[in-house]
Structure 1
């Protein structure tokens, strides 16, 4: 049964052919000769081929012999019979091999010979007919071969001799059809290729049109992008110029320059003598170097024990190692240095100089805030804006191996006592930073306000406290004071050419050391003693000065009394009562000033003879810093002097005691009288109203607003509030006549914000006076 499936039919044909070939082989006559197998049919065919190959040669040879010609004619008659069957067999086999290979070839490559893109029906039909014809002749050839396999030998020989199966002719037809088909296929592909090329050309032209359209759009986009780029470039340049201007323009913060570590006042103040206070300095440096140390170190002790001197010396050491990032040195009685309004801004300014990467973060944190806005902020907001916030934005990879240090010296001299605990609590927050390691060294007296501030921190162990009078340091301090006295007396002996040697004697030196260290070791005692013995401005006989000191020392008196009594006795002894009171009034005013003034300015405010003041004032060089230049303020060398002169608990002689409240009242009266006498409209002769402060010539301001008038305008309300009388006879005249003039002066001085606070304070005074 012939299958309808083409693949199955092919298998059936292969099977039939295989069996046919096997049958042919079985029908062939085989014989063995000398152990080798021969097929009779093949041998006859080969002999016939040999005779046929030499037939021409024999034809020529037998022409000379009739007998040979007769025999050869018989061979020639039988030769076609012998060769035709063999030739047919060979043609059948060769043709079968060829057509079989071609049919497989066309099966594999038919999809290539038949173009998918051919759409012309007449060409398609013609080509299809040729393919069918080729396949028909190939199949016909194969079928005849298969039939040949199944016929007997004699039948095939007969057909071969008669030429019924023209194998060569059929093969020639197949090859001719192939050539025709290939030629037509070539023509078809040429047509198809042309159409394809035309389609490609058309598509290319369309693509070109599209690309040109896109190119036009792209050019427009490029033009727009170029314009945007130009705009962006301009914006970038503006931004860069703005940043450059910001970089070039310093951040303007309200600072107290004299409170900085690098200020002249701090640098000119005493440092530890070489070889003294070594143990305490090493303890502080070890704390600063330790990885897991407390974030805050509190160095405490009474007045005169050398806390500030140690702080300045340690600051030098840390600064030499580039680890001191900021310092703030409080000082009572000096404007700015006695308060907290500019504490954090002064520290932030120094930190920005030491840590350049902090500048940009600080600028962003301020967001355009001006100096007045910053100064008016609460401490917590200042700390976050100026210090904590900018530091938190620093890159953490810049963190140094050793901690950086901030120094706050003499915190007890801050007059805002309610701010002390807040300051300490805020600085403790620095330990939470992950971008920089910071520690704070703080020095102060162990006052109740400060000790209470540290009480809450004890449970968390957030600070380390060392008391200078602690047993660990007292013996060292006594030894250091002796070293200090020996070195300074040796220097005095050299400068003043004292011939006595030793001077002072050992007994005198032992006595001085005992006085300086009993009951407490006070460096201020030793320092004041040396200044009393040898004054740089008005030097006296050092040997006589030392004897005066020793004679006036009384073990029954306090150490402060022993320090300052001999000095004041030398200035006030032998004076008439009026002169005595005048000098004491000047000295009391000097101690209570909010902001130090030059001696001439204070004399002008108190309406004293300046020539008289400059005559006797240098006698106090041991307790006052009296500059050679007249325009520089006079300052206390140590706060212990104000403690002594303002104390109301000193036993014995109290002729140098100053009543604080009455002195404040006197200063308030002097300030009001000064303003009533000198204030007027357009005091600086500006003439043009509404002129900006920065456009006013500073020389005109200094000329028309003297330091004493400036002080009176700024601090009269302070002294009035701290005086014994809230109302003053000068107040009505001031309010009715000069209130606006006073506001004008504050505006010129850039202190207009103070006016609101002063007026508020004045209203409170009026309210108290009305209720009273």
Structure 2
């Protein structure tokens, strides 16, 4: 939120100044890696100054493969560095938010910042992060002009005033209170006492109050605990009390969302969570189950997202035993098994019914409904869940004794590769196969007797 405010200020106050920014998000695999950060910054640079495309085009035309494999960061960093050194770039701010949530190859981004910090007096850097010692120590080695440490303990009064102002406005707009000034004042007072200067706590409580009846408002306010952790515990307790199997359905949704490497689309999450077909195949029913999951999740643009990283952290740690039912590695293995099942049942030759195989990818129109809609996540990430699952002894036994994986490769390898190509994810597929081969060798396992044929296509 702070950097969004800074970006808006710079945009209004200095309209001639260019901005390239990226917001890291730990819960989204598309936004939590060094590659993602550089791709985002390069994109923003090109949006503001299209002439910089020459730096990207030159390298892409000569070494296209470098942008599609594990070494893509080095190609991207070279392109970005050349852009920042371009004499025509002018004054620009490079902004990276939540660097601590860049979980994959974070040191590469720190190296990139170090190498380009003093590239030009016109290039300014703004980087935000939580107090992760490794990051703070590394940033401390840089030649920084200004280093701000924002501690709520040092700004308690300002934060309290801001949260209280938010509460006053939101309570006054609650339909259930109908301009009853005495009730409004009471609710404002209690909420301010319990909020403990936490915006997220207040926002989550208002989600519940906005749909409450007038006679329930005070009971809700009195029963809601103070503090974010206790509020999450109350939400989980409410899920536990749901009847007719709905509690178990919510557990499946929450477990799947927590383990997923990116936010899931509505079409994916119901099938991947192994909800009954009568629910998973009807999006409105999936939406109703998600809405039963308290305020842990929200739906935005048909994508299921956590309301905040702290909600995912709570489910991953404190509530893990409730939603996973077993060690987390076992839960990953179940997600792998479900992915294999979905792909085995639904993948087929020429799944888009293309008129001829030589059609260009840009000329393909995605069918409606999309037969790959509920399979996209499974096609890209099933190997990652398998590798996590193989860290559990029982899962290795199931994998060794079972026939699911060799059968999948025998019957659906080409179907899977076709699906990856249609999704533009062939690079991820090749990386997945290499990772799987390494994991199987480390476990002294052989996929099938003629297993090597699968790695030589």
1:390 aligns with 2:63: no
Paired with 2:148 and 2:77, the residues of 1 have a C-alpha distance of 24
SS state of the match for residue 126, structure 2?
Answer: strand
- CA contact 1:318–1:324 (8 Å) conserved in 2: no
How far apart in 1 are the matches of 2:190 and 2:374? 45
599, 616, 621: which one pairs with 2:266? Answer: 599
* Kept in 2: contact 1:327–1:406 (CA 8 A): yes
- Corresponding residue for 2:66? 373
RMSD (Å), alpha carbons: 3.0
The answer to whether the 8 Å contact 1:380/1:426 transfers is: no
Structure 1: runs of 5+ lacking an equivalent: 1-308
Q: Kindly state the Cα deviation for residue 364 of structure 1 after the two structures are TM-superposed.
A: 4.2
Matches within 5 A, 1:154-303: none
SS in 1 for 2:303: coil
Report the counterpart of residue 159 of structure 2 in structure 1.
477
Equivalent of residue 440 in structure 1, options 125, 150, 158: 125
Q: CA deviation at 1:438?
A: 2.1
The match for 2:312 among 636, 642, 646 is 642
Classify the secondary structure of the residue corresponding to 1:432: coil
Q: Which has the higher helix share?
A: 1
Normalising by structure 2, we get a TM-score of 0.83
Distance 2:95 2:219 in 1: 40
Is 1:342–1:375's contact at 8 Å kept on the other side of the alignment? no
Tell me the distance in 1 between the aligned counterparts of 2:129 and 2:218: 31
Aligned counterpart for 2:96 among listed residues 381, 398, 408: 408
Shift of 1:737: 1.5
Looking at structure 2, the residues matched to 649 and 607 of structure 1 have their Cα atoms a distance apart, in angstroms, of 20
CA pair 571-752 structure 1, distance change in 2 beyond 3 A: same
Select 1:342's aligned residue among 29, 32, 36: 36
The Cα of 1:617 is off from its aligned counterpart by: 2.4
Match of 2:450 in 1: none
Summarize deviations over 1:18-62 as a string: whole Å, max 9, x none: xxxxxxxxxxxxxxxxxxxxxxxxxxxxxxxxxxxxxxxxxxxxx
Rounded to whole Å, the distance in 2 between the matches of 1:364 and 1:751 is: 23
Residues 392 and 527 (structure 1), Cα distance of their counterparts in 2 relative to 1, 3 Å cut: same
Higher RCO, 1 vs 2 (CA within 8 Å, ≥6 residues apart)? 2
**Of the two, which has the highest radius of gyration?**
1
Q: Does residue 1:310 correspond to 2:10, yes or no?
A: no
Residues 754 and 365 (structure 1), Cα distance of their counterparts in 2 relative to 1, 3 Å cut: closer
CA contact (8 A) 1:311 1:409 kept: yes
CA–CA separation in structure 2 for the residues paired with 1:332 and 1:668: 21
Contact residue 598 and residue 634 of structure 1 kept, 8 A? yes
Offset, 1:690: 4.1
- TM-score normalised by length of structure 1: 0.51
Give the one of 349, 359, 371 matched to 1:705: 371
Q: Assess, with a 3 A threshold, how the Cα gap between structure 1 residues 474 and 638 changes in structure 2: closer, same or farther.
A: same
Asked if the contact 2:236–2:294 (Cα under 8 Å) also holds between the matched residues in 1, the reply is no
Asked if 1:531 is matched to 2:207, the reply is yes
Which residue of structure 2 lines up, in the alignment, with residue 550 of structure 1?
Answer: 222
Check the 8 A contact 2:32/2:102 in 1, yes or no.
yes
Alignment partners' CA distance in 1, 2:385 and 2:37: 23
**CA distance 1:766–1:392, change in 2 (3 Å):** same
Task: Name the count of aligned residue pairs.
Answer: 428
Tell me, in whole angstroms, the C-alpha distance in 1 between the residues paired with 2:443 and 2:136.
Answer: 37
Query: Aligned residue for 1:252?
Result: none
Please say if residues 190 and 221 of structure 2, whose CA atoms lie closer than 8 Å, have aligned partners that are also in contact.
no
Cα deviation, 1:600-626, whole Å, max 9, x if unaligned, reads: 431123332235533342244733222
* In 2, Cα distance between equivalents of 1:588 and 1:633: 16
SS of the residue aligned with 1:708? coil
Aligned match of 2:241 in 569, 573, 580?
A: 573
Q: Distance in 2 between matches of 1:509 and 1:617?
A: 29
Residue deviations 1:561-611, cap 9 Å, x none?
Answer: 2232333344442425x5422321111112222232333431123332235
